[in-house]
Structure 1
């Protein structure tokens, strides 16, 4: 077996082999590796994988293959890859073990989130690699079932300090989605002419005329499989004898044609045996022999196919190349295909493998078959229970095709579209909608179809067109299902919130006007008194009737999400929106409580598509409360989940933290990138957040003229919303300090209207602070005192610190230096403790102007922890184990340990016992 550095063993692949050698060396050294090998059929991807396995000296090697006819079986490819490691299932954290067990059908349970399955596989592979580095090879990944492909893509993106190398081979172009995009890639091209000639001479058993050689090389276009297989096919004697009759065609097509012609010369029994093997993807020889017995095929047929080199039958049934399988299956007549599927269905155990048996029966059907359609529907239910939504949709799609009753056919296609949407297969969802709509639909079914179409558009891009589509669906649903209609309308309001002024024909005002006219009685019973519907009513009133009317309803709705009046599903779906209701009512405590509940629920349920939104909202709440360490940890968590899942969520928490912290270079980069991305994606609220963040940044630095345009833009953008109120507070300060008193007065009036409607210390404290700024002169002091007193009764330490700072600045300008130093000292202590660096420096300069010198915090000392290191350090200092930390941050325990080593070095500690005090000090 060749060892590392022994040089390439493949003709013309030196550069590619060196790339694989570097990856193997890196994994030996303790770092993971991932590579996606792309190329056309026959270009040599499988040969590269074989060569990699030969080179992997000292590694444990596991392989899996995607098979086109197996894409309907959820987690089939994943199970094949993980099967050697399942004895370690019991050592996984309980939620991970449960998720993987359900996915693989080892036991029952609630349908697991696919990302929780991914975390389980990540931990399983990482633990397996502790004793021996691991190479995982996945060939023909484009034919993996969707669930397996998504999970393995997740694992590939979350590998860290794990001695694991995963290499995928993918045929270009990709047929059905590309979950592997963005991973490191190596594209294989055809061999150059010199290497092609060498290969052709090696495999051709006779002399080759130079002209013929040139012709074959030209037509093969460097495709190694074409060069290997064409001389075997019909006319090979002509090639050897100096004649060439092959017509020009794409190389893989030539090869497949050559295989087909070879098949035509085989006896019927042999062709049937090959077709059986092509139709049965599991590669189980026992199952193959059962089916051959049913079809009366003798053992001599097996000897013939193995002698011919197309098929090998030993512990597994395997073809010479995947193109052989597709050539055999595609070339067979429909009747022959149905016959072998019928035999395979009869040979498959209905108790141990009911889903594969149902699929074979479906493929054997020559027309509608109600019994088989029912079996497929049950298979779909089992797939959904295991988290295999893509497989569930395929079963239902086939069930619809076999349904005799047109009403049942339409319903199955519609449910398949809904399941495809949940799986993120948006093109499939729209295709299935077309199937459903080809049959007569009831009014409710048509409304559901419109809802799928709207949700597909919203899930794809969250752009400005989604509110209109969702509102149209809600309107159709109103007389049919009032509860679903109102929830759809709330989704439309959420979509309009994201889009803001970048919405299309329907925005917040249009959705709110429609929702405000809702009577809630368009069906059996009322649906207006639940927290979700109260949310919709309160938001609609805020837009159409003003905050004074809306605040009591919004406060009641938000508090409902903090109690037992909502289901876990409601918390996960709309918890973040309930926090928006709370802050519109200036209710910080309820906001923080609800979003904490949502984040906890998302973690426990493994709802990783929800978690980034919740973590972003909770990060904002923690930043507003002055816990920047906790906020940074949540920002890092949100970023980790967003990266792992591909969820498109703007960095709301990071924006708030950056604006309050005041590091200009970091904040400006984040703000600019967010505005660019949100403009392209038509997500207006993210732009508003970015501008508010910029206003905080420059007000903190005392650069009020730079803060002013950002504050004004954010305040004017959707003025009914909470972000506008926060930005209006920044606008009052920047306008006053920029001598724009007319603008400041107008902004104050808007702020007073919003805060008067809510009442409470947060709202009225912010109002008093703005009033003091606007008033000036001796009359300002009572307002400054009121602001400090009210904000001191809240948890919002940054706002309190800013009240002391502004009061101190006013006192110093009034010549009351002793009083000023008292207020400025309080502000500086708070800013320093919170680490609001720009405001801290501003307070320090004001103190110096008031006659008190202070020592700036030293920037020297220990090396600063990265966000992820700080997050891991905090969890470790709190007593969490490496597996627990890995489960929360979606990395392996070994990667946690690797980061902890760096944390120990940076903090100057040698054990976890020392970590808590060192982390607190740092």
Structure 2
């Protein structure tokens, strides 16, 4: 009984994951414009303002609306009306012909379409009357163009707009009709302002804000994420740089796409010239002249003292005004003020008496390249003496050391520990690696220990390539079993969801462990994950987890014991084993381990899943919010991302769609920037978009999640991605595809051993899809098995959704009254268990069934109940669909005008079969045409006979061919 939602076709273009943040920006612009008014897009040169405008223009044009666009340049600013000529270049003479004669004459003259009349000059000293006529004429032309539908005016790079055109557009904006939309972009300076354009020019010409009708929405185009930069480079056919290098390009460019492209081109040019392909992490990136010159112009314009202060600030890790004073720059405040006026930096308020922030991340790089070595050494020495922070001091001492130095190595090790305590594992990893480099040759054990600790810090920071590099370095040097297994563990942990890629690691690691129970405990824990993710067997994974927990307990390794117990409890929950609660309680019992208690595979995270299967949504949310708060303070990017994924799912269950969408996008941004496996995050985005966003974006996200999971051979997340995609296909009326995807979900989950339907709630969706595509008996079998499991374990939320699925089966059999009773019961149970979106979805289906029964009053009541819940939840696409259903019921139009009332009583599959029967097709021909089995056709036809009261194919043909029947 699910009504289809129209989705745009998904073709090859969807193979590339969308840049969610840019899509959201485009949607924000479109949403504001659709309510009438103006949008002002701001951002520095190269940030992508024009790209966003092009997306908006393409979308508006695809809807059949008119777009007028101009893109002024610096050379055109002093040329009167040049932008207006550009803007109206596509307006035909037939439109101008509707103007009064004097209005048309002035406008055609201004647009250079006719020779000017004697004395006519709307910009001259006597042209006041002509100027007014011109404004009125332009307004009339735009009103005429907008009469047939919305008209979008685009002014790209409005800071170069000539004054006469700006005056006309200001006049139009202040008198704009509802159908006029205006989109303006302006380039902001390096300080983030627009050079005074917002409030107008000194010469009295209007500012860019005055070009937009009210209400005005000002939007800053954000920098690109690291993932978006990687996609940008790929689209422009740049080399496939390693992920750490892409991260450096992103950081150096500040997320500015144009800057990133130029830096990448400089790298490529250097590689083609014969230099090394990839610079070492300590080697600066080459900065091309096109980027270096503007910075040098600003630096060279500084007085000598201010430039010296700028050099010291560029050498600092975290420069502040007070630190620079202590480093001997006694006039730091005045010098920094000079640098601010030259657009080089900003001083932000902060607890350290002003934090210095470079406006262009390339400035410190250019400074280092242009400053004599002796002056840089002096700056590092002054900062080392002035800093009271161990991390900063160690950084400068390392810059001063000429070679291996045990004192410097020890200080770097201590600084790494300090960074780790602060929750900065990335800094700790870099300092740990430096400590190993400065360790004297005779201290091999300390060198290996420091590299391994740095590798483990890199895992926490999600710097996985760096972690693997360090681990393989250690494996090349280490001989002790403990060191080698520790390195193997880093290799395993760094693979993320793609454990299939390291199948050959485990035999070598076990061989290195020998018979050491402590080392074997760590490996059996990881083998448990491999069996579940790659082997697809929860039962075998459970055996490894039990063994790991036992070995760890024997050897006193509490961290491994807690992680293994958590894994054991998760598997017992999945397998529906009664001891799951007791195992989790053992994992939560003291003594605790700080790492395990904040890890996404630790007992605190798993605790929220136990709340979820018991329908304790408030408790699950509280657990995750506390954990997310702790992880934001200090914790790994991987754990934070996974906790945000869980929190987004909980918010969806609770009917809080907008927060869920925000949280899911945060998780995706973290995985993209950290280089983590992206399948789980795209899965969360898909769920959130399905609930509160766009179903077309939800489908793209689900397909992306599936591809990532398939590429990683991740059988743990693949069924979830398939479920997400299957639900969207179900909601869009693509029942055969939905059933196929959801059946695959069921096969994978069942093969893994799932026995608790609350752990992965796909059962009701599969049954509804099967019922909708003409397989009610198969749907009933799914419901029966899941109901037995849910009743055994006490899962009322699952039982409620199964009640709705059972009603869909009744409807498929033509038993509409029974279906209505079942839906009412399901809605009540869903309300009691606290699942508002599922309750609203049930009310929506109930309204459709009641309408089929001819009970319009109760149908409208059901639609109203669904609409109230969806609106409160912020479920945008569902609100639109429900309003359409409600309005249709209010109009009393229960029949489909194209197909007649007979179609209303049938499912889409049954309608297709009946239509082909009316054309004289045989059952076998129908099956071939619909790509289904003959049995499915026969079953659909039998149900159609019963619903329509027909006794023969002739009667069916008469019903179809008779209008209004």
TM-score range, shorter chain: 0.5 to 0.7
Using the TM superposition, name which of 663-672 and 793-802 deviates more: 663-672
Q: What do the CA deviations read for 1:527-578 (whole angstroms, capped 9, x no partner)?
A: 69987444312233356xx3143654577589x59x9977475234335554
User: What is the deviation of 1:466?
Assistant: 5.4
Q: Does 1:714 align with 2:745?
A: yes
Q: Which residue of 2 aligns with 1:571?
A: 598
The CA distance in 2 between the partners of 1:442 and 1:680, in whole Å, is 35
Count of residue pairs the alignment pairs up: 599
Q: Which residue of 2 aligns with 1:667?
A: 698
Q: Which residue of 2 aligns with 1:243?
A: none
Q: 1:801–1:444: structure 2 CA closer, same or farther, 3 Å change rule?
A: same
User: What is the deviation of 1:441?
Assistant: 3.7
Q: Does 1:167 align with 2:197?
A: no
The CA distance in 2 between the partners of 1:782 and 1:129, in whole Å, is 77
The equivalent position to 1:797 in structure 2, one of 836, 843, 854, is: 836
Is the CA contact (8 Å cut-off) linking 1:714 and 1:724 kept in structure 2? no
Is the CA contact (8 Å cut-off) linking 2:531 and 2:537 kept in structure 1? yes
The CA distance in 2 between the partners of 1:761 and 1:398, in whole Å, is 59
1:582-731 matches, cutoff 5 A: 582-584=611-613, 587-605=616-634, 608-642=637-671, 645=674, 647-649=676-678, 650-661=681-692, 663-683=694-714, 687-719=718-750, 720=753, 725-731=760-766
1:875-890 matches, cutoff 5 A: none
The CA distance in 2 between the partners of 1:353 and 1:602, in whole Å, is 24
Is the CA contact (8 Å cut-off) linking 1:728 and 1:748 kept in structure 2? yes
Is the CA contact (8 Å cut-off) linking 1:426 and 1:456 kept in structure 2? yes
The CA distance in 1 between the partners of 2:303 and 2:807, in whole Å, is 71
Q: Which residue of 2 aligns with 1:834?
A: 873
The equivalent position to 2:295 in structure 1, one of 52, 55, 64, is: 52
Q: Which residue of 2 aligns with 1:454?
A: 492
1:768-807 matches, cutoff 5 A: 768-775=803-810, 777=815, 783-807=822-846
Q: 1:645–1:415: structure 2 CA closer, same or farther, 3 Å change rule?
A: closer
1:82 aligns to what SS in structure 2? coil
The equivalent position to 1:512 in structure 2, one of 542, 547, 550, is: 542
Structure 1 gaps, min length 5 = 7-17, 68-74, 89-100, 105-123, 138-150, 157-163, 172-224, 226-273, 288-315, 317-344, 856-922
The CA distance in 1 between the partners of 2:643 and 2:307, in whole Å, is 38
The CA distance in 1 between the partners of 2:580 and 2:780, in whole Å, is 24
The CA distance in 2 between the partners of 1:279 and 1:430, in whole Å, is 36
Cα RMSD (Å): 5.7
Q: Which residue of 2 aligns with 1:867?
A: none
The CA distance in 2 between the partners of 1:772 and 1:5, in whole Å, is 67
The CA distance in 2 between the partners of 1:827 and 1:23, in whole Å, is 46
Q: Which residue of 1 aligns with 2:316?
A: 79
Q: 1:702–1:829: structure 2 CA closer, same or farther, 3 Å change rule?
A: farther
The CA distance in 1 between the partners of 2:873 and 2:293, in whole Å, is 56
User: What is the deviation of 1:851?
Assistant: 6.6
Q: Which residue of 1 aligns with 2:344?
A: 135
Is the CA contact (8 Å cut-off) linking 1:450 and 1:473 kept in structure 2? yes
Q: Does 1:282 align with 2:377?
A: yes
1:801-820 matches, cutoff 5 A: 801-813=840-852, 819-820=858-859
Is the CA contact (8 Å cut-off) linking 2:804 and 2:822 kept in structure 1? yes
1:549 aligns to what SS in structure 2? coil
Q: 1:385–1:529: structure 2 CA closer, same or farther, 3 Å change rule?
A: closer
The equivalent position to 2:194 in structure 1, one of 15, 29, 34, is: 29
TM-score, with length taken from structure 2: 0.50
1:92-491 matches, cutoff 5 A: 132=341, 134-135=343-344, 164-167=359-362, 282-284=377-379, 355=394, 359=398, 363=402, 377-378=413-414, 381=417, 387=424, 388-398=427-437, 400=439, 402=440, 404=442, 407-422=445-460, 426=464, 429-434=467-472, 436-437=474-475, 441-458=479-496, 462=498, 464-465=500-501, 469=505, 480=516
Is the CA contact (8 Å cut-off) linking 1:585 and 1:758 kept in structure 2? no
Q: What do the CA deviations read for 1:327-352 (whole angstroms, capped 9, x no partner)?
A: xxxxxxxxxxxxxxxxxx99x99999
Is the CA contact (8 Å cut-off) linking 2:692 and 2:877 kept in structure 1? yes
Q: Which residue of 1 aligns with 2:938?
A: none
Q: Which residue of 1 aligns with 2:52?
A: none
The CA distance in 2 between the partners of 1:128 and 1:795, in whole Å, is 57
Q: What do the CA deviations read for 1:388-413 (whole angstroms, capped 9, x no partner)?
A: 3244223332355x253554554344
1:457 aligns to what SS in structure 2? coil
Q: Which residue of 1 aligns with 2:578?
A: 549
2:833 aligns to what SS in structure 1? coil
The CA distance in 2 between the partners of 1:678 and 1:59, in whole Å, is 54
Q: Which residue of 1 aligns with 2:774?
A: 739
The CA distance in 2 between the partners of 1:448 and 1:65, in whole Å, is 45
Is the CA contact (8 Å cut-off) linking 2:764 and 2:805 kept in structure 1? yes
Structure 2 gaps, min length 5 = 1-72, 76-159, 161-185, 196-219, 224-255, 274-285, 328-332, 347-354, 895-965
User: What is the deviation of 1:479?
Assistant: 6.7
The equivalent position to 2:800 in structure 1, one of 765, 768, 786, is: 765
User: What is the deviation of 1:436?
Assistant: 3.7
Q: 1:60–1:731: structure 2 CA closer, same or farther, 3 Å change rule?
A: farther
Q: 1:382–1:285: structure 2 CA closer, same or farther, 3 Å change rule?
A: closer
The CA distance in 2 between the partners of 1:51 and 1:694, in whole Å, is 49
Q: Which residue of 1 aligns with 2:213?
A: none
User: What is the deviation of 1:591?
Assistant: 3.0
TM-score, with length taken from structure 1: 0.52
User: What is the deviation of 1:688?
Assistant: 3.6
User: What is the deviation of 1:819?
Assistant: 4.9
Q: What do the CA deviations read for 1:670-709 (whole angstroms, capped 9, x no partner)?
A: 3344444444454555554443333333433455345322
2:777 aligns to what SS in structure 1? helix
The CA distance in 2 between the partners of 1:361 and 1:57, in whole Å, is 27
Q: Which residue of 2 aligns with 1:310?
A: none
Is the CA contact (8 Å cut-off) linking 2:525 and 2:544 kept in structure 1? no
Q: 1:771–1:455: structure 2 CA closer, same or farther, 3 Å change rule?
A: same
Is the CA contact (8 Å cut-off) linking 2:689 and 2:698 kept in structure 1? yes
Q: 1:130–1:515: structure 2 CA closer, same or farther, 3 Å change rule?
A: same
2:360 aligns to what SS in structure 1? strand
